[in-house]
Amino acid sequence: MDGALRFRAVTLTLFLVFLTLAAIDPKFCCGISEVHCIQSEQQALLRFKTDLTDPLNRLASWAGDGDCCQWEGVVCNNVTGHVQELNLRSFPPPLIEYFFN
């Protein structure tokens, strides 16, 4: 078997192994995880929220009964469940605030 043919065979084999693993466990390829946020971090976020002014209730998803990894603006590590980013800039100001501030 020449080099190019061997390379194709190895590549095809690895691709099929990857597809098989992805079919068996979607977390393998897609980062889909059932990890939930860590309780102490959820409580810290709720305390942080009390110090914020949110007159338009943009942080309504930040409630004690939900998974904080699903809250608006919260990004969690999909393996550990640790909060790794707060993206509060993603909340665009209403047009009225934009023009009159």
**Run of H or E including 14:** helix 3-24
More confident residue, 36 or 1: 36
What pLDDT digit, counting tens, does each position of 11-60 carry?
888 777 776 766 665 555 555 557 788 999 999 999 999 998 888 888 99
Residue 69, pLDDT score: 92
How far is Cα 94 from Cα 5, in angstroms, rounded to an integer?
60
Q: Where are the domains of the chain?
A: 1-32, 33-101
Amino acid (1-letter code) at residue 34: E
* C-alpha closest to that of 37 among 100, 98, 79, 87: 79
CATH superfamily of 33-101: Ribonuclease Inhibitor (3.80.10.10)
How far is Cα 19 from Cα 52, in angstroms, rounded to an integer?
46
How far is Cα 16 from Cα 100, in angstroms, rounded to an integer?
58
